[in-house]
Amino acid sequence: MKERTNILIIDDEAPSREALLLLLKNADYTVQGAATGDEAFALLADESFDIIITDLFLPDMDGIDILKRVKEFSPAIEVILITGHASAETAVRAMKEGAYDYITKPLNIDELRIIIAKAVEKRRLLNENVYLKKQLRDKFEFANIIGSSPVMQKVFNRMKRIIKTDSTILIMGESGTGKEIVAKAIHFNGHRRDKPFVAVHCGAIPENLLESELFGHTKGAFTGAIRDKIGKFESANKGTIFLDEIGTMPMHLQTKLLRVLQEQEVERVGSSRAIKLDVRIISATNQNLEEEVKAGTFREDLFYRLNVIPLHIPPLRERREDILPLVRHFLRKYCKEMKRPIMTLSKEAFEALESYHWPGNVRELENIVERIVALTENDQITLDDLPSAIRGGAATRVVERGVDLPKTISDIERKMITEALVLAGGVKARAAEMLRLNRTTLVEKMKRLGMEG
C-alpha cells in the first residue's frame, strides 16, 4: 500500500489555513494545521511530517526562524514558504536557509499543487536512494561474502583492518575469484560508504578511449569530442575508484595514473587545468605485476604506489571447504529468481563438485549452478545433471581415494543380471539376449557371482 504524504500547514489566518487543509485533503494528502510556531513544533515532537507549508509572518516567530529550526530538527523535511509581502532579498535568504520553494499570496492553486508534487517526488527519490544504499551496504557486509575456510578468514581479517584506512589497495587473484566483490565490501563498510563507488574495467575499454574514460576530456580535445566529459576519477570524487585488470593499462597511461596518485589531481584530455581529487584507489589484477615490471611492461614506481596494501584472494581449489556453502547460496539465489523450490544436491554430485579443479573459480561455479537450476526438472541435482568435465573429476577422486574395482564390477554385474532375469520372467535365454551374452556365458557368470545357476 502506498504511503500518504504527511503535510503540516502553519498559518495564523484561520480562513486561509482551513481552505488549504481542505484543498490538500481532497488531493489525498494527510494534512494537519497549526496557527503558531509553538503549536507547530508541539506537533513535530509527536509526529513525522514530509512537507511543511508555512506563512512567513506569524505572531510568535517568522517563517525563516521556523525554516531554520525545522532543518536543525530534521533536514529531510521540505519547507515551502508563503507570504503576502514578497521581496527578492527574503526569497534569496529563504532559499539559502534550505527552503524548497517560496510562493506569494494570493495563492495560485495550480502552482502550489505542482510545487508540492515536486517536493513529494524529491522526498521519494531521496528515500529510495537511502534504501538502495542500505541494500548495497547489506549486500556487501563481510558476513554475506561466502567463505569459512581458514584462507578466506585471513582475507576477511585483513579486510577489516583495511576499511579503517584510506590506503591504496592492490587485490590479486585469478579471474573469477571475486576481486570486485571484495573491493565493494571494503568501500561499503568504510567511511566512504555513502559516496560513489566507480568501477573501471581497464581491459574492456579500447586503448584509444581509456584515457578519456578515466580522466575526462574538454570539448574539441579530439575528433568526436563534441562536449566536455567528466572522467571516472572525477565521478568517484570523495568515494572509491576500482581499477580492474590494471595490468592491461598501456605504458603512457600508467605515467598519467602515477601523477594522479602522487598529486591527487587530474587533468582532462585537452585541458591544462588541474582538478583536485579525494579518491581512494583500489586496483586489481590476475597477472603477476612483479613479473610484468621485470619484463618492462609495467612501471615499477606505479607498482609500488598501487601495492601499498596487497590483498591476495585464493582460488577456489585452495578453499574447497567453501564449495558446498557457495553452491547452497547460489541455489537459493537462482531458485528464488526462477520461482522454483530450493533444490538439493546428491552426495555424488557434491563430491564431483568438490573434486573439480575450478579454473574459472567462483564465477564458473555460479554459472554452472544457474545453468543447472534453469535446465534440471527434478528437485535434486544428481551426478548426471553436471557438465561432463565435472563428472570426469568425480571418477578421478574415486581413484585417488582408492576403490575395490573387482568388487565394484561384480556388484554391477549382479545387479544387471538380476534386473534382466526379472524382465525376462526368469528365462535365462531371454535374459542373456537382453545382456548381449550367450546363455552359457550368463550361467557361468551367475555361478561365479554365487547366484543360482
pLDDT tens, residue by residue, 230-249 = 899 999 999 999 999 999 99
Handedness of CA 188, 192, 193, 196 (dihedral sign): negative
Angle at which helix 150-162 crosses helix 179-188, to 10 degrees, equals 40
Report the percent of the chain where pLDDT is more than 70.
Answer: 92
Q: How far is CA 397 from CA 208, 323, 355, 388, in A?
A: 48, 16, 6, 14
Largest Cα separation within the chain, whole Å, is 115
Closest CA to 349 of 379, 385, 377: 385
pLDDT of residue 264: 92
pLDDT of residue 154: 92
Q: Which of 154-168, 370-384, 386-400, 428-442 has the lowest mean pLDDT?
A: 386-400
pLDDT of residue 176: 93
Q: For the domain bounded by 143-314, which CATH number is listed?
A: 3.40.50.300
Mean pLDDT value across residues 422-439? 84
Q: What's 299's DSSP letter?
A: -
- The domain at 6-134 falls in which architecture? 3-Layer(aba) Sandwich (3.40)
Question: 413, exposed or middle or buried, with CB in 10 Å at 0-12, 13-18, 19+?
Answer: middle
Summary mean pLDDT of the chain: 87
Contact predicate 361/176, CB 8 Å: yes
H or E segment to which residue 366 belongs:
helix 361-375
Query: Is the fold of 6-134 the same as that of 318-401?
Result: no
Q: Which fold has domain 318-401?
A: Helicase, Ruva Protein; domain 3 (1.10.8)
In angstroms, rounded to a whole number, what is the distance separating the alpha carbons of residues 417 and 411?
10
Q: So where are the chain's domains?
A: 6-134, 143-314, 318-401, 405-448
Mean pLDDT value across residues 97-115? 86
Query: Residue 95 — pLDDT band, cuts 50, 70, 90?
Result: confident
pLDDT of residue 331: 94
Mean pLDDT value across residues 141-153? 79
Residue 107, all three cell numbers: 495563492
Instruction: Give tens-digit pLDDT for 166-221.
Output: 999 999 999 999 999 999 999 988 999 889 999 999 989 988 889 999 998 888 88
pLDDT of residue 416: 83
Query: Residue 447 — pLDDT band, cuts 50, 70, 90?
Result: confident
Instruction: Give tens-digit pLDDT for 17-38.
Output: 999 999 999 888 999 999 999 9
Residue 339, all three cell numbers: 520461482
pLDDT of residue 361: 94
pLDDT of residue 453: 55
Output 93 or 316, whichever has higher pLDDT.
316
Q: Which fold has domain 405-448?
A: Arc Repressor Mutant, subunit A (1.10.10)
- pLDDT above 80: residue 392: no
- pLDDT above 60: residue 310: yes
Angle at which helix 37-46 crosses helix 63-73, to 10 degrees, equals 20
Query: Residue 315 — pLDDT band, cuts 50, 70, 90?
Result: very high
**Is the preceding peptide bond at 106 cis, omega within 30 degrees of 0?**
yes
Mean pLDDT value across residues 376-382? 92
- pLDDT above 50: residue 1: no
In angstroms, rounded to a whole number, what is the distance separating the alpha carbons of residues 52 and 75?
12
